[in-house]
Amino acid sequence: MTQGALDTSIEFLKGVGPKKAELLNKELGIFTFRDLLMHFPFRYVDKTQFHHIRDLREDSGTVQLKGILRRLNIVGDGRKKRLSGRLRDETGYIDLVWFTGIHWLEKQLSIGSEYVVYGRVSAFRNQLNIAHPEMEQLNPENIKKASSFAPVYPSTDKLNTKGLEAKARRKIMQALFEKITAADLPDNLPAYLIQKFRFPSRHKALRQIHFPRSQEELTQARNRLKFEELFFLQLRLLQIRKRRKDAIKGWNFEKIGDFFNTFFKKKLPFELTTAQKRVLKEIRRDLGSAIQMNRLLQGDVGSGKTIVGLMSMLMALDNNFQACLMAPTEILAQQHFQSISEYCEGLDINVGFLSGSVKGKKRKAVLEGVENGSIHILIGTHALIEPSVVFKNLGLAITDEQHRFGVAQRAKLWAKNTPYPPHVLVMTATPIPRTLAMTLYGDLDVSVIDELPPGRKAIQTMHKTENHRMRVIGFMREEIAKGRQVYIVYPLIEESEKLDLQNLQDGYESISREFPPPNYQISIVHGRMKAGDKDFEMQRFVNHETQIMIATTVIEVGVNVPNASVMVIENTERFGLSQLHQLRGRVGRGADQSYCILMSSFKLSKEGKERIQTMVRTNNGFEIAEADLKLRGPGNMEGTQQSGILNFRIADLSKDGKILKLAREIAARILENDQKLEKAEHQAIRWYLEKHGKKLKAWSRIS
Ligand code: ADP
Ligand code: MG
């Protein structure tokens, strides 16, 4: 084949043709030889082993049989119409059934012939059968050649019933490999890496991923292709980061001045943790570099991000710039406003507040103060990004995230100063496993506070079931008698909203019976309430007018009630791990010992049990995030859903952390020594990046 032959349309491949090509286009987005080649098997089956029908059970899974087709007829009407067959071997018989493409299949199959049948055993009305089995006329030659690693490709019903089932796909792949040679697949990794890691060549690796002859060949191919995929992604991310740093100039905060120093010496009420100090140094370096800062600050709930944010703002003020802090809810914004106003007392700093609820004259005064510079720090909700908010000189914009702002909203903060944009710091309380962070935020700078302030008592977490209900209530009474407050949280999801609200209501009533007025007052908050009512109820709890807060997950987002020491979570099995962790973070904020009680039904799925055990075992958000990644896979974690970046061809971030780390290190080292990839040994990389790397955009730009 000639150069560029991989771009040939699959239509011209033996065994494909226009009709099947169109199906592959539509169903799987496969257009060219290259697309086909890069569509890897998702598993392999052993075609050398046969089962006996007599030995089959409902849980036998996918099996391969050899037998004679004894019966074949179309039965039923309308939607129940199906093709039904019966296969017999020397040990017994089993029914086969097809629901789609039945006329085509009926013509293909012939009664009395011997077949190799491949499919998954299931039970229907106490009878074993196999639905949509793969059928191949028995051919002794084929059996001799059969592989113990026959590839199985992602497929669809349409493909399976229109002549593109697993067997046909294998044939097409074989035809493809007859057409392409090593010359069509020049290597894209430098020779020294291939040698160092003993990788197979690219051509060999691709061949082996489709048609491995042994487990060893398969492992080799996988390792190389995973490395390759992660390596080029990291290379590209690092290039994007470098280019952005070169291109986007920023304000240079030259000095640390009186605001910062006075605060640090006279007002800071505690010693900073080592992690806080480290992060402040990282931020300081960014702010003094004349390049716009784009930093993500990750820190578990309660790790002390606010003070780091505040001290960064003081650096801006010291250089005659303003700063702002945006929070996702009114309550959170107000809490920030209160605590930051207190910290700033006596420092001659004017702190302003803006949200939807600030109206009329008050609003006008705030807007004027921001524009004429008399307000130094502005705190508020997304009201901050409205066009009417014009800063005199905004130097630093901080958002306190917890997943509430979209990228587009944050981008508006950029426009709030010229000629340079403000520096940007995004604080998030959702720990992300390192592998995910390296990828999702691979082109950003990330700081991590991985340490809690000293003296904090670890939250004690317990798992309880319905049998313990009375004891749990007794425990709540004891804690309330000590002057503490209690959260009780119920799940609420859209699909079962009515039932969930009913549960919440029932829970409220039974708790009201256990904790009657006038000794006890109870708040209730859920998403269906009006914003005003919600705030009112929340505020009563914050002010300790109520002792118990019954709520759905609306409280997940950062309310700070240090006096609350007990978190009871109902139907724990219905919450995700990271959500549970966020919820638990609502307690343990004061000096008292705090408790988290996870209520669940007695019967739990394996995954549910593991989630709860993880929660009981550890308070560390990063450890929990890692466990979550392992349990659910990268695509399903909070905050990652929309980002196409996690759609890997072969790499799996929940398992390939080591390869990822290696790929990133090597990519970084290469760029360090040969930034423009000009050296002879890097031409292969450069060529490949130019051809295929462009698709990767700076998706993760946080601001
Ligand atoms: P989060 O990271 O969840 O936003 P906060 O900034 O609200 O955490 O801090 C949680 C609590 O810990 C606050 O009451 C804060 O004053 C306190 N805190 C922060 N840093 C320290 C520290 N180094 N030593 C002691 N307490 C601290
Ligand atoms: Mg916070």
Choose which residue among 271, 307, 428 to substitute to test ligand 1 binding: the one with the highest number of ligand atoms within 8 A of its C-beta. 307
Q: Which domain, by its residues, includes 39?
A: 1-45+154-184
| Distance from the alpha carbon of residue 305 to the mean position of ligand 2, in angstroms | 6
Do residues 548 and 611 share a domain? yes
CA 349 – CA 364 distance, rounded (Å) = 20
Is 296 inside a domain boundary? no
Number of structural domains in the chain: 4
Do residues 57 and 27 share a domain? no
Q: Any idea what DSSP says for residue 52?
A: -
Give first-to-last CA distance, the chain, whole Å. 47
Do residues 63 and 40 share a domain? no
Q: What is the phi/psi pair of residue 437, to 5°?
A: -60, -40
The predicted model scores a pTM of: 0.72
pLDDT score, position 461 = 97
**Sign of the alpha-carbon torsion through 536, 539, 543, 544:** positive
Q: What is the phi/psi pair of residue 568, to 5°?
A: -105, 125
Residue nearest to atom 27 of ligand 1 (CA): 453
The domain that holds 120 is classified in CATH as: 2.40.50.140
Do residues 35 and 59 share a domain? no
| Distance from the alpha carbon of residue 266 to the mean position of ligand 2, in angstroms | 23
pLDDT score, position 699 = 42
Residue nearest to atom 26 of ligand 1 (CA): 453
Q: Is 578 helix (H, G, I), strand (E, B) or coil?
A: helix
pLDDT score, position 285 = 95
Q: Extract the tokens encoding 672.
A: 């360090």
Do residues 500 and 357 share a domain? no
Do residues 32 and 167 share a domain? yes
Is 210 inside a domain boundary? no
Helices (H), 468-530: 469-481, 497-514
Is 278 inside a domain boundary? yes
CA 572 to chain centre: 21
Domain boundary among 93, 117, 146: 146
Do residues 74 and 18 share a domain? no
Domain boundary among 600, 618, 636: 618
Q: What is the dihedral of CA 604, 608, 613, 616, to 10 degrees?
A: -100
Choose which residue among 303, 561, 594 to substitute to test ligand 1 binding: the one with the highest number of ligand atoms within 8 A of its C-beta. 303
Ligand showing the shortest atom-to-Cα distance for residue 325: 2
Choose which residue among 264, 270, 340, 622 to substitute to test ligand 1 binding: the one with the highest number of ligand atoms within 8 A of its C-beta. 270
Q: Is the N-terminal amide bond of 200 cis, ω within 30° of 0?
A: no
Do residues 369 and 340 share a domain? yes
Do residues 350 and 497 share a domain? no
> What are the average pLDDT values for consecutive 10-residue runs of the chain, which has 703 residues?
76 92 93 94 89 93 93 89 95 93 88 93 90 88 83 86 86 94 92 96 96 95 96 90 83 94 94 97 95 89 92 97 92 91 94 96 97 97 92 94 54 74 88 79 83 87 95 97 96 82 91 94 88 86 94 69 94 90 87 93 91 94 87 64 66 89 95 94 92 59 39
Do residues 68 and 1 share a domain? no
Q: Is 151 helix (H, G, I), strand (E, B) or coil?
A: strand
Residue nearest to atom 16 of ligand 1 (CA): 304
CA 503 – CA 612 distance, rounded (Å) = 21
| Distance from the alpha carbon of residue 627 to the mean position of ligand 2, in angstroms | 23
| Distance from the alpha carbon of residue 408 to the mean position of ligand 2, in angstroms | 22
Give the binding-site residues of ligand 1, using a 6 Å CB cut-off.
270-273, 276, 299, 301-307, 429, 453
Is 699 inside a domain boundary? no
Is 573 inside a domain boundary? yes
C-beta separation of 333 from 561 below 8 A: no
Choose which residue among 306, 398, 449 to substitute to test ligand 1 binding: the one with the highest number of ligand atoms within 8 A of its C-beta. 306
Do residues 116 and 175 share a domain? no
The domain that holds 474 is classified in CATH as: 3.40.50.300
Q: Extract the tokens encoding 690.
A: 């130019």
| Distance from the alpha carbon of residue 586 to the mean position of ligand 2, in angstroms | 11
Q: Which atom of ligand 1 is nearest to the CA of 585?
A: 3
Radius of gyration of the chain (CA): 31
- The residue with tokens 């799996």 is 652
| Distance from the alpha carbon of residue 434 to the mean position of ligand 2, in angstroms | 21
Domain boundary among 184, 200, 232: 184
> What's the half-sphere exposure (Cβ side, CA atoms, 13 Å) at 695?
7
| Distance from the alpha carbon of residue 323 to the mean position of ligand 2, in angstroms | 17
Residue nearest to atom 15 of ligand 1 (CA): 304
Is 239 inside a domain boundary? no
CA 50 – CA 89 distance, rounded (Å) = 11
Q: Is 83 helix (H, G, I), strand (E, B) or coil?
A: strand
| Distance from the alpha carbon of residue 457 to the mean position of ligand 2, in angstroms | 18
Do residues 40 and 55 share a domain? no
Residue nearest to atom 13 of ligand 1 (CA): 304
Q: Extract the tokens encoding 456.
A: 């904090």
| Distance from the alpha carbon of residue 244 to the mean position of ligand 2, in angstroms | 29
> What's the half-sphere exposure (Cβ side, CA atoms, 13 Å) at 162?
14
Residue nearest to atom 12 of ligand 1 (CA): 304
Q: Which atom of ligand 1 is nearest to the CA of 299?
A: 2
Q: Is 526 helix (H, G, I), strand (E, B) or coil?
A: coil
Q: List Cβ neighbours of 100 (8 Å cut-off, separation of 6 or more).
A: 132, 157, 161
Ligand showing the shortest atom-to-Cα distance for residue 332: 2
Q: Which atom of ligand 1 is nearest to the CA of 306?
A: 6
| Distance from the alpha carbon of residue 273 to the mean position of ligand 1, in angstroms | 10
Residue nearest to atom 9 of ligand 1 (CA): 304
CA 442 – CA 668 distance, rounded (Å) = 11
Is 675 inside a domain boundary? no
Q: Extract the tokens encoding 326.
A: 């945006």
pLDDT score, position 555 = 61
Q: Which atom of ligand 1 is nearest to the CA of 558?
A: 3
> What's the half-sphere exposure (Cβ side, CA atoms, 13 Å) at 415?
12
| Distance from the alpha carbon of residue 598 to the mean position of ligand 2, in angstroms | 24
pLDDT score, position 703 = 35
| Distance from the alpha carbon of residue 332 to the mean position of ligand 2, in angstroms | 8
CA 377 – CA 523 distance, rounded (Å) = 33
Is 198 inside a domain boundary? no
